[in-house]
Chain A
Amino acid sequence: DTGVSQDPRHKITKRGQNVTFRCDPISEHNRLYWYRQTLGQGPEFLTYFQNEAQLEKSRLLSDRFSAERPKGSFSTLEIQRTEQGDSAMYLCASTFKVGKSGANVLTFGAGSRLTVL
């Protein structure tokens, strides 16, 4: 297993266009997270899945953002009608966890950097 993979690594788009990012987690991991990170800030939680179920979505996430994990394996994050404020690094992370207790060690992918012109 090569860890968490994200594609594309870089995306430049014009305002108003739609973009989609893909994340392939570590194969035995049941939980998958999406975070967004801007320069000088820590990662900001967007949403997460346990298997194929989307269990939580940040209140900061507008309805232009949608994420799926159709078969409980890879996930996609789509941003519709992109705005310049969407420019950021989109990080995917995965972990294996059952229940609420115990360490929740996330393994991050290298990220997909979005630039909206």
Chain B
Amino acid sequence: GQNIDQPTEMTATEGAIVQINCTYQTSGFNGLFWYQQHAGEAPTFLSYNVLDGLEEKGRFSSFLSRSKGYSYLLLKELQMKDSASYLCAVDAPEEEYGNKLVFGAGTILRVKS
């Protein structure tokens, strides 16, 4: 079975730092992704982790611990435009050709001034 859990909603203040957690249980693992999705729009790629550790990309960083089945997305210097849903997804190959992303329900982040 496959299970991906993340908090439903979070609120943070403009300029602050926020950490969005994701835990997963999948039968296979070929990497973990974070996507950002603004209301009514397509998900857009933010980060990819396949090895343990921290990947930094500008104001966004993503961390992975494979042994714990845990990841987090760290957003620094929050801006109002960061208000969006943040989707955690695992690439979980099961079949011979299987390569599909399994998504969590998403965390709605509200940034307030």
Binding site for B on A (CB under 8 A): 4, 31, 33, 35, 40-45, 48, 50, 55-56, 91, 97, 100-101, 103-111
Interface size on B, residues (CB 8 A): 26
B-side contacts of A50, CB under 8 Å: 97
A107 x B100 contact (CB < 8 A): no
Contact A56-B42, Cβ < 8 Å, known A41-B105, A42-B87, A43-B87: no
CB of A56 within 8 A of CB of B91, answer no
Contacts of B99 in A (CB 8 A): 31, 48, 97, 100, 104
Whole-angstrom distance between the Cβ of A39 and the nearest chain B Cβ: 10
Q: Is the CB of A106 within 8 A of B48?
A: no
Q: Please determine whether B100 and A42 come into contact, CB atoms closer than 8 angstroms.
A: no
**Contact of B97 (CB < 8 Å), options: A40, A56, A105:** A56
The answer for the CA separation of A42 and B45 in the assembled complex, in Å, is 14
Q: Of the candidates A42, A45, A104, A111, which one forms a contact with B31 in the assembled complex, judged by CB atoms under 8 Å apart?
A: A104
Considering the chains assembled together, what is the distance between the CA atoms of A50 and B93 in angstroms?
A: 15
Closest 4 CB pairs between A and B? A42-B103, A108-B42, A55-B97, A104-B91
